[in-house]
Amino acid sequence: MDNWYLYMIRCRDNSLYTGIAIDVARRLTEHQSGKGAKYLRGRSPLKLVFETRVGSRGEALKIEQRVKKLPKHKKEALVRSNGDVNPMLFSLKNA
């Protein structure tokens, strides 16, 4: 199935959490209710600031790990990209 998305959530402390999901809205609701990633617990309010379709689960996992390793300024560049992330994601897929 090629319906996986990479998403980023901004926390109250301005940190960015990166994850993958098929249904980003449902996953955000889980995070906001305290279910899901421990990192996000106690960091509300949470705001979805980025999402993009990345393909299969395997591709999504690879990209997620690479994005998590990026310095914050590069993650912020992804957030500011307004969805025009093809060049960066292409390089992440092929790295």
- Is the predicted pLDDT of residue 13 greater than 60, yes or no? yes
- Is the predicted pLDDT of residue 92 greater than 80, yes or no? no
**The whole model's pTM is what?**
0.86
Give me the chain's average pLDDT, please: 88
* pLDDT tens, position by position, 53-91: 988 999 999 999 999 999 999 999 989 886 666 656 655
Q: What is the pLDDT of residue 17?
A: 97
Total domain count, the chain: 1
Q: How far is CA 56 from the centre of its chain?
A: 15
Could you count the other beta carbons within 10 Å of the beta carbon of residue 20? 21
DSSP H or E run through 32: helix 24-32
Query: CATH code at 75?
Result: 3.40.1440.10
- What single-letter DSSP state applies at residue 49? E
Q: What is the pLDDT of residue 89?
A: 62
Its domain, for residue 16, covers 4-93
